[in-house]
Amino acid sequence: MKLIVLGSGTCVPSLTRNAPGYYMLEEGFEVLVDCGGGTLLQLERAGRSYKDIDAVFITHKHPDHFTDLMPLIQALLATPGFKRKKELSVIGPADFIEYYNEAIASVMGEHINFPINLIEVKDKVDYGPFRVTAARTVHSGESLAYRFNCRDISVVFTGDADYEQGIVMLSQGADLLVTDCSFPDSMKVRGHLSAKECGLVASNAGVKKLLLSHIYAVGLPEEDRIVESKKEFDGEVVLAEDLMEFDL
């Protein structure tokens, strides 16, 4: 399984960290987990093509996590010399699927000439080689975290989340845990994990590797978050960077 960090940032514009987005490839299936603004350009920079995306998993209905979904659909429709034939699956919580039908489909619907499969996630969904389990997070609305299992590999994306047992249970024994690490401990905000809490989730869940992402620039050394996470977790901790790649 290949994972590429397309965006390790947040809703706040940054020249170094794009809005949230992750690319995964397994057995020829190419999926996005979140699709914030700039995701299409990041795919190009990573040497991947928006034309090949099979599915987009959305964690929750905040713009920085889905803004490039409509541009993705428009690009698939309007690229000269390209005709999309295969289905695009859009997968997410109920409130996002409702939003898609009300807002995105109302703009793009009559022009779409390839199948779009809307899948509401409640707890589990199978997609291609991925067996995906979802858990509600403490953040907003119906925000979800996802666990992707394939063969003997597991990757968990917390999405935006606060510390609670549901995230710990979802992450049990994961090979890679990708966390919302919005702020250092001194700037803890409800609805987001602090660096120390990221380490606490990783430790209590017994994960193999912790990837700190969703980084707000706060005027403090970003590397401090690694130090704070390691106070709770003695495994490998990595600070996410855009276009960072992992082979799992």
Segments making up each domain of the chain, as ranges: 2-247
Tokens of 181: 């690490």
Closest CA to 174 of 150, 145, 143, 206: 206
Count of other CB atoms within 10 angstroms of residue 179: 30
For 126-149, how does the pLDDT look when each residue is reduced to its tens digit (9 = 90+)?
999 999 999 999 999 899 999 999
CATH number (3.60.15.10, 3.40.605.10, 3.40.50.2000, 3.40.50.300) of 2-247 reads 3.60.15.10
H/E segment holding residue 195: helix 195-205
**Quick check: pTM over 0.75?**
yes
pLDDT of residue 107: 85
> What is the arithmetic mean of pLDDT over 10-28?
97
> What is the arithmetic mean of pLDDT over 77-87?
95
- Average pLDDT in the chain: 96
d(CA 109, CA 124): 27
- Across 60-74, b (16+ Cβ under 10 Å) vs e yields bbbebbbbbbbbbbe
